[in-house]
Amino acid sequence: MRLQQFSNLPILGAVLGAMFFPTVASCVEMQVSTTILLGKGTCSIVSVTPATFTPALDPISAANRTADATITVNCKGLGNKTGTVALQRQNTNPLNLHNTLTPTDTIGYSLNLPGSTPVTNNTDVPITVTATILGSAYQNAAAGIYTDSVGIEVLP
């Protein structure tokens, strides 16, 4: 019993020392480092406007026509540096607009995706995607509305 009380003294002393006496801090510098990658997930799509051929296609004149879609992206993690993004299709299937009433009626078209677009950190950057229909592709098309939906991937 007496021995136990004695053995507790150093602990008590330490507590008192902490409470009533200045302590000498022990400092050590700890280096912390990390790398923020400009990974695929750092760019997000803010908005998308569709490509609409306006005015309507006139098969008699059958001129080549273009329509622009805009994909606005925002990339984070660039700091004060400039990065680039590229767009690519999610697949390589042939591009065809389908008649909304008779989907087997199609009009072939192409899509021009910019290879590389500069972006800055946390800034909305509109990227234009141009759809082109050649006159020969719709010259024999029946009247109607034709639509398609294309999967686009934004790549850092």
Partner 1 sequence: MKKMMKLALLALVGVLAAGNAMAATTDVNVTATVSEACIATTITDITIGAIDPTTDTGTLDSASHAGSTQGQINVVCTAGTAVNFTALPSVDLTGTTNGDTLTVVPILPAGPATPGIAGADYAVNASVTQAQYQSVSADTYTGTFTVTVAP
Q: Does 93 bind partner 1 (CB under 8 A)?
A: no
- The residue among 1 and 29 lying less far from partner 1, judged by its C-beta, is 29
Distance of alpha carbon 50 from alpha carbon 148, whole angstroms:
10
Distance of alpha carbon 112 from alpha carbon 49, whole angstroms:
15
Q: What are phi and psi for residue 39, nearest 5 degrees?
A: -80, 175
For residue 92, the minimal CB distance to partner 1 (Å) is: 15
Among 12, 16, 48, 63, binds partner 1 (CB under 8 A): 48
Task: Return the sign of the alpha-carbon dihedral for residues 12, 16, 17, 18.
Answer: positive
Distance of alpha carbon 17 from alpha carbon 68, whole angstroms:
75
For residue 24, the minimal CB distance to partner 1 (Å) is: 20
Q: Does 40 bind partner 1 (CB under 8 A)?
A: yes
Q: Does 149 bind partner 1 (CB under 8 A)?
A: yes
For residue 27, the minimal CB distance to partner 1 (Å) is: 14
